[in-house]
Structure 1
Amino acid sequence: MTLHPLPRPNRRSTASWADTESVITGAERRQPAPRPPAQLSSAPLAGADLPRIRSAVAAALSGFLEEQRAVLTGMDPSLTPVVDEVTAVADGGKRLRPAFAYWGWRGAVEAVSGPAEDDAAVLRAVAALEFVHASALVHDDVMDGALTRRGRPATHIGFASRHADLTLSGDAAAFGVGAAILVGDLALVWSDELLRRSGISAAALARARSVWDTMRTEVTAGQYLDLLRAAGGLPGAEGALAVARYKSAGYTVQRPLQLGAALAGAGPRAAEVYTAIGLPLGEAFQLRDDVLGVFGDPDVMGKSADDDLREGKQTLLVALAAEEADDAGRRLLAECLGNPDCGSDDLDALRGLIESTGARARVEQRIAEQTARARDAIAEAPIAEEARAALDALAVAATSRTA
């Protein structure tokens, strides 16, 4: 089947971003896709200022979590493992979402009249995205039945083990799932609180809310679409791409960029420009994640390369392999994808099927095309030059990573 290209903005003269209308756009326009270059050149990541951004985000999260630790332990000391778990899930990671939001702000702020938000306050505000991400990870692991996350037990597995260690009554697995749902919910609650308490102005907070609310609605809807697809709904490659867009692409790149624009006070033109960058780049990011989930190095990924296959993730890789597989290949998919009892030889055979059907090559091509589309949009965007360089570097890093 045809994988339809994502939209590009209308070609028109650069307009001022200096208005405060909503940065949420409606249905995006479809335009012909550009021909991708034969090879994407690398962009220097140093220009993205990631060490400073990551340090500021880590400090914001750490300070906030220490306050929340005092609140929860003041309620009851037995709540300590809950805040410990949110802390562990939010720790580490690539901090790409805050980086995209920060550079979305930097890209737009110079063209907007009036006083700019304080840099440190903006960094605290965008750090709240990490709690949204932590919530999504915890809930996703429950739905997928994942065993590990970033080299440690998934939240529901860890709390099930705690149940057993404390010799509590009832079913340990059910306790673990219930605790994980609440940990994910708490991370989402705290994302709101950190944004509100970040130190940005009341006007900037009000502008940010429309993007923030849309983003959280989309990621929750995307999780449901993923659940539906796993149960046989939303079939084929188009279904896989729909899940990728709403579950990951929006809240990974598009909405963080738009959040930054809202903090700057930019208007609808900024939303259009950042959508042209964010949707293809967010999709490419998720597709890279899917490839790494099957073919990545476990020592680098922090989890087994068998996990996605054992959990039966219905990615674009799987959809394309199913389209091209012969009868034996389709039987292998039916018998082993999502079957935890299949051994390593069977899972290697599944990887071989994904390779031999050309599914992996097609996904790699899709990643290259969508990354090129995003980089074209970055090159043409009416944004500050330092932000253009930073976003281009982030685009390359996000789609060529090994973990």
Structure 2
Amino acid sequence: MTGRLSGSGRLSTRDRIIGAVDDVLAADLDATAARLQEISPVAAELIDPLRAFTARGKRIRALVTWWGFEIASRTPADPEALARIAGSVELLHAAALVHDDIIDDSDTRRGRPAVHAAFRDGHRTDVWEGDPVLFGTGAGIIAGDLCLSLSEEMYTAAGLPGLLAPEVVRRHDDFRRDVMVGQYLDIRLQAAPVPAADIAARAEEVLTFKSAKYSVEQPLLLGAAIGGADGGLLEALSAFGLPLGRAFQMRDDELGVFGDPAVTGKPAGDDLRQGKKTVLVGMTLTALAEAGRDDDAAWFSARLGAADLEDAEVDRMAALMRDSGAVAAFEDAIETRMHEARGALEDLRTRADLHADDVELLDFYVRTLTHRTS
């Protein structure tokens, strides 16, 4: 797992990190499949969809976990051990996605069948007994739980010194707990009646705990804590990671409406079909109300997530988002958060004594997360 660093800086390149994490994930899943095979010839079936599910991805959480350690520590870690820490983060993410697809009743992920859908379709193809939907859901939940267990195994197996330090334990606990709380906040927001004027604020709360913190800030802080970061450095990293995580998720919500299915791997307007009360939806309803377009706002609210929602209605919703000015305001909000992250990066440069090449690498990461098409 050798590889050069970013020019004259101390941060490892994206390619080096992604390659190392890919190798560890593949090797550990193969080893787990062998262990499951000893339990039963069919038990290893649980690994097949997980292997395909984790084989690809942006590795955005693995990257900042690794970089967080390198920013904080002046002592290089064993690359394989660091890859296991970063890989454990990826497995936690995979578990969250497997369960999220079940919760959202979403059949696709990254252009492939979601894990529960793959189990369901296999049941149908092989003409097994019972309800294929129930089997797929049950097998998907179990596969997600197995991912959580494997994440813990990989984290512990890294064997890095300091994993039991109080600050490291707290950061690891926060990381795992908050995403689950955020997931509940999300499904509650979708289920409970919420005044249109309050949707944007409630959705921002969900966005923060379900995605923003867990996508960037918390893995960054976990890696830094393992690397021995002090309180001041952790605060500086948080100031960089939290607004970036928010901008990342806001871009994801925009792509959930306007993204190209060939690139996102999701149907166009998927969030509207699922009735997602996102920040963008809240801003649209507020903009329509402020413009006195109460009929449009009422129609939008009534049809959002309707079981019989037609393609033409999805198109009309998207048009209302644009011509109400909500999309433009939403883009401005993304840019504001991106600039907050860049401003914090300048402070981080001084506090952590980062080389210009390291700052350039992190700035590229900012642009990758905020200006993307998938």
Could you tell me the TM-score, scaled by structure 1's length? 0.83
Aligned residue number for residue 371 of structure 1: 338
Secondary structure of the equivalent of 1:92? coil
1:70 matched to 2:34: yes
1:103 to 64, 67, 71: 67
Distance 2:238 2:88 in 1: 21
Distance 2:139 2:299 in 1: 35
Change in Cα spacing, 1:345 to 1:48, as seen in structure 2 (3 Å) is: farther
Give the number of the structure whose residues are more often helix, by fraction.
Answer: 2
Distance 2:358 2:46 in 1: 38
Give yes or no for contact 1:196–1:205 (8 Å, CA) kept in 2.
no
Aligned residue number for residue 164 of structure 1: 124
Give the CA deviation at 1:195: 0.9
Give yes or no for contact 1:204–1:264 (8 Å, CA) kept in 2.
no
Aligned residue number for residue 357 of structure 1: 324
2:160 to 200, 203, 208: 200
Letter in 1 for 2:123: H
Secondary structure of the equivalent of 1:312? coil
Secondary structure of the equivalent of 1:97? helix
Q: Which moved more, 1:379-388 or 1:368-377?
A: 379-388
Distance 2:51 2:325 in 1: 41
Distance 1:119 1:168 in 2: 45
Letter in 1 for 2:283: L
Give yes or no for contact 1:371–1:395 (8 Å, CA) kept in 2.
yes
Change in Cα spacing, 1:393 to 1:228, as seen in structure 2 (3 Å) is: same
Secondary structure of the equivalent of 2:48? helix
Distance 2:305 2:41 in 1: 39
Distance 2:133 2:187 in 1: 20
Distance 2:153 2:273 in 1: 37
1:252 to 201, 215, 225: 215
Structure 2 residues without counterparts, runs of 5 or longer: 1-10
Give yes or no for contact 1:221–1:247 (8 Å, CA) kept in 2.
yes
Aligned residue number for residue 301 of structure 1: 264
Letter in 2 for 1:231: A
Letter in 2 for 1:402: T
Give the CA deviation at 1:48: 6.5
1:124 matched to 2:84: yes
Greater RCO, 1 or 2 (C-alpha within 8 Å, sep 6+):
1
Runs of 4+ displaced beyond 6 Å = none
Aligned residue number for residue 190 of structure 2: 230
Aligned residue number for residue 364 of structure 2: 393
1:140 matched to 2:100: yes
1:339 matched to 2:287: no
Structure 1 residues without counterparts, runs of 5 or longer: 1-46
Secondary structure of the equivalent of 1:128? helix
1:291 matched to 2:254: yes
Deviations along 1:129-176, whole A, 9 cap, x unmatched? 111110111111111111210111122222221222232333221221
Distance 1:332 1:180 in 2: 36
Distance 1:164 1:246 in 2: 37
Q: CA RMSD in A?
A: 1.7
Letter in 2 for 1:290: D
Give the CA deviation at 1:233: 5.6
Letter in 2 for 1:370: R
Distance 1:178 1:322 in 2: 37
Change in Cα spacing, 1:88 to 1:340, as seen in structure 2 (3 Å) is: farther
Could you tell me the TM-score, scaled by structure 2's length? 0.90
Aligned residue number for residue 44 of structure 1: none
Change in Cα spacing, 1:48 to 1:240, as seen in structure 2 (3 Å) is: farther
Distance 2:312 2:41 in 1: 47
Give the CA deviation at 1:389: 2.8
Give yes or no for contact 1:48–1:390 (8 Å, CA) kept in 2.
no
Between Structure 1 and Structure 2, how many residues are aligned? 352
Letter in 1 for 2:90: E
